[in-house]
Amino acid sequence: MFQKILVANRREIALRVICACKELGISTVAVYSEADRNSLHVRFADEAVCIGPPRSSESYLNIPQVISAAEITNVDAIHPGYGFLSENANFAKVCEASEITFIGPKPEIIELMGEKDRARREVKAAGLPTIPGSDGIVEGEEQLAKEAARIDYPLILKASAGGGGRGMRVVRKQEDLLAAYQTARSEAQ
Amino acid sequence: MKRKKAKQASATFASPEIQQIEQLLRFMGEHNLEEFEYSRKDLRIRLRKPSSSVMVAGPRMISAPEIIVSGSPAAAPAAAANPGAAAAPAPGEARSTEDLHLVKSPIVGTFYRSPSPSSEPFVKVETYMETGQTLCIVEAMKLMNEIESDETGEVVRIFVENGQPVEYGQPLFGIRPSRKK
């Protein structure tokens, strides 16, 4: 069991993890940006470290700052919560290299699941059920029309990149297909 | 952190007396309370004992019981200012550092005053600094990051001990700017 973990997230996500740690008797370290100085997660954790200015790219998403905070507070592990660095394979690798346990999947698994088409292929190959859909990436409008006709409406378009809900479009009828395809594409870029 | 509001102590607060505050402190002890807050109309009492939780930054630790009794509602919000908002120096320090330019840590890490354990510190109190001169090192992920002065003037205060952890935005040095500009 861990003695002390750092929660690399904020607000209710961090609180949820901190409360679970309290139940388990694990000490917690909160990190926060200057904008979240008065947030509840900062007060509830046993220790708190300010890791940057309000922009999350310079604080919660800034890997060196988060790792440094973990090092100066001497934690065994980092819990990323969800969002932010939780699906960042590189962060999981840096944790490993810094000899801090990343509470989450191995970097290879994060990478695999981040690429939607590869994830689908691997899951199918493992014999797990998947929702019916195209076999691999749909290339171009012609193939799209064919696949849409085969699957039938309503259907959902999902960009292979994207993430965080971007690049996903529900299509209810054929007339909307091409427009949805274009917006899904541009959104995921 | 425990934080409960006690309702049973009521009407006796019209004129708070030392005895009653003592009573309250005993009450807090009995019930294991770390913080006690009472407000009615324009009377507001807040008691807090040193918390068992440890903050990383040294200067923000709450070291003594804090007693705030404010008569006017206007003073209340100020008194309620969150202790977490404490990267700012303690009130006593604030007065002496008013005119100083604060050099704050741009990163999280470990503070070192000298380039190696055996060598002389980069700066001491009374050292005259030019903009761009190295003040200290903050080590992060085994990288030694030299922190440079962004002000020309005399080093008046050094807020952090050698080898202490520092967080983002924590004041490291107080520099009295030279007025020749």
Q: Does residue B118 form part of some domain? A: yes
Residues of B in contact with A45 (CB under 8 A): 53
pLDDT > 90? residue B108: yes
Residue B1: what pLDDT? 43
**A78 & A15 share domain:** yes
- Mean pLDDT, chain B, as a whole number? 72
* Domain extent at residue B127: 91-177
Does residue A54 sit at the B interface (CB-CB below 8 Å)? no
Average pLDDT estimate for B47-52: 65
Residue B143 CA to residue B137 CA, distance in Å, equals 9
Of A34, A44, A65, the CB nearest to B108: A65
Of B55, B110, B169, the CB nearest to A47: B55
Q: Does residue B84 form part of some domain? A: no
Instruction: Match 């090192």 to its residue by tokens.
Output: B137
Contact A63, B141 (CB under 8 A): no
pLDDT > 70? residue A20: yes
Q: What is the pLDDT of residues A37-89, one digit of tens each?
A: 999 999 999 999 999 999 999 999 999 999 999 999 999 999 999 989 999 99
Q: What is the pLDDT of residues A136-173, one digit of tens each?
A: 888 888 999 999 999 999 999 988 776 667 788 899 99
Residues of B in contact with A35 (CB under 8 A): none
Q: How far is CA B78 from CA B35, B68, B100, B171, in A?
A: 17, 10, 24, 23
User: Which is more confidently placed, B26 or A24?
Assistant: A24
**A104 & A172 share domain:** no
Start-end of H helices in chain B: 18-30, 75-79, 91-97
How many domains in chain A?
2
- What is the reported pTM? 0.65
Amino acid at residue number B32? N
User: Which is more confidently placed, B94 or A41?
Assistant: A41
Residue B15: what pLDDT? 56
Q: Does residue B117 form part of some domain? A: yes
* Token pair of A24 as six digits: 């388990």
Shortest Cα–Cα distance, B118 to chain A (Å): 22
pLDDT > 50? residue B160: yes
Does residue A22 sit at the B interface (CB-CB below 8 Å)? no
Q: Does residue A21 form part of some domain? A: yes
Predicted confidence band at B21 (pLDDT cuts at 50, 70, 90)?
confident
Of B25, B47, B79, which marks where a domain is finished? B79
Q: Does residue B5 form part of some domain? A: no
How many domains in chain B?
2
Q: Which helix (H) or strand (E) holds A65?
A: helix A63-73
Residues of A in contact with B56 (CB under 8 A): 47-49, 72-73
* Domain extent at residue A142: 129-188
Residues of B in contact with A44 (CB under 8 A): 1
**B74 & B97 share domain:** no
**Of A91-100, B43-52, B75-84, which range is least confident?**
B75-84
pLDDT > 60? residue B53: no
Query: Residues with Cβ < 8 Å from B110, sequence gap 6 or more?
Result: A71, A72, B138, B139, B140, B163, B164, B165, B166
Shortest Cα–Cα distance, A9 to chain B (Å): 16
Of A52, A83, A111, which marks where a domain is finished? A111
Residue A164: what pLDDT? 67
**B69 & B108 share domain:** no
* Token pair of B141 as six digits: 């992920």
Of B79, B101, B123, which marks where a domain is finished? B79
pLDDT > 50? residue B172: yes
Contact B168, A52 (CB under 8 A): yes
**B98 & B168 share domain:** yes
Chain B interface mutation, best of A49, A74, A90, A100, highest count of B Cβ atoms under 10 Å: A49
Q: Is the ipTM of this complex over 0.95?
A: no
β-bridge partners, A6: A29, A78
Q: Does residue A146 form part of some domain? A: yes
- Mean pLDDT, chain A, as a whole number? 92
Residue B178: what pLDDT? 86
Residue B22: what pLDDT? 79
Q: Does residue A118 form part of some domain? A: no
Residue B140 CA to residue B150 CA, distance in Å, equals 20
**A35 & A93 share domain:** yes
Query: Residues with Cβ < 8 Å from B167, sequence gap 6 or more?
Result: A49, A50, A51, A69, B56, B57, B87, B105, B108
The sign of the dihedral angle between the CA atoms of A64, A100, A19, A45 is: negative
Query: Residues with Cβ < 8 Å from A155, sequence gap 6 or more?
Result: A133, A148, A170, A171
Of A77, A111, A145, which marks where a domain is finished? A111
Q: Does residue B1 form part of some domain? A: no
Q: Does residue A117 form part of some domain? A: no
Q: Does residue A44 form part of some domain? A: yes
**A10 & A93 share domain:** yes
Question: Looking at residue B36, what DSSP letter applies?
Answer: E
Q: Does residue B85 form part of some domain? A: no
